Copies of this chain bind each other. A is one copy, B any other.
Amino acid sequence: MVDLMGAPGTRWGLGTRLAQALLAAAAIGFMASTDDFNEVTAFRLLVTAEALQCLWSLALAAVDVYALLVKRAFRTPRATTIYSIGDWVTGALTFAAASGSAGITVLINDDLMMCSENHCPSFMASTSMAFFTWFAIAPSCLFNLMTAVYRVQRA
C-alpha cells in the first residue's frame, strides 16, 4: 500500500499537487480576467475556493519536495489523517464552486442567451479549470482516505 503511485512524498504525488495548484491558479486567472465576476456570489465562491485549493496544494507540494530531498516521507497516521481531511475539505469546496459556476454559466449561455453582454468564454474556461482541479484532487482524496482507513484498521 505504501508504494502506490501518487502517494505523498513521491514524484507522482508532487506532480499531482503541482497540477492541482496550476489548474486552480488558471481558474482564478480566467475568472479574474473579467471585470464583473464579483457581482455574482457563485463566481466569488469559485475564486475563494480555488485560492484555498491552490494554497493547500502548494503547501503539500512543499512537503513533497522536502520529502524527496531528505528521502523521508511524512506518512504517520496523524499526517495521513490531516492530508485526508484537507483534501476532502478543499475538494468538496472546489466541486461545489465548480458546480455552482457551471449552473450559472449554463443559465447565461443556454437559458437566457445573454452571452453578448457577458464574458461567457472566460466564465466557461474558469469553470472547466475548476472541474479539472477537482479531477486532479480526486485521486489524492481517495488515496489518502484509503490509507487513513488502512492505518486505523491496523492500529
Contacts and interface: CB of A to CB of B under 8 A. Distances in A.
A41 B111 contact: yes
A77 to B, nearest CB: 16
Contact of A40 (B45, B102, B111): B111
A40 B103 CA distance: 9
A110 interface: yes
A60 to B, nearest CB: 22
Secondary structure call for the A interface: helix
A120 to B, nearest CB: 14
A15 to B, nearest CB: 24
B99 A95 contact: yes
Interface residues of A, number: 25
Nearest to A92: B95
A67 interface: no
Nearest to A45: B103
Contact of A102 (B39, B95, B98, B100): B100
A132 to B, nearest CB: 15
Given A99-B99, A150-B153, 7 more contacts: A41-B106, A41-B107, A42-B102, A42-B103, A95-B95, A99-B103, A153-B153
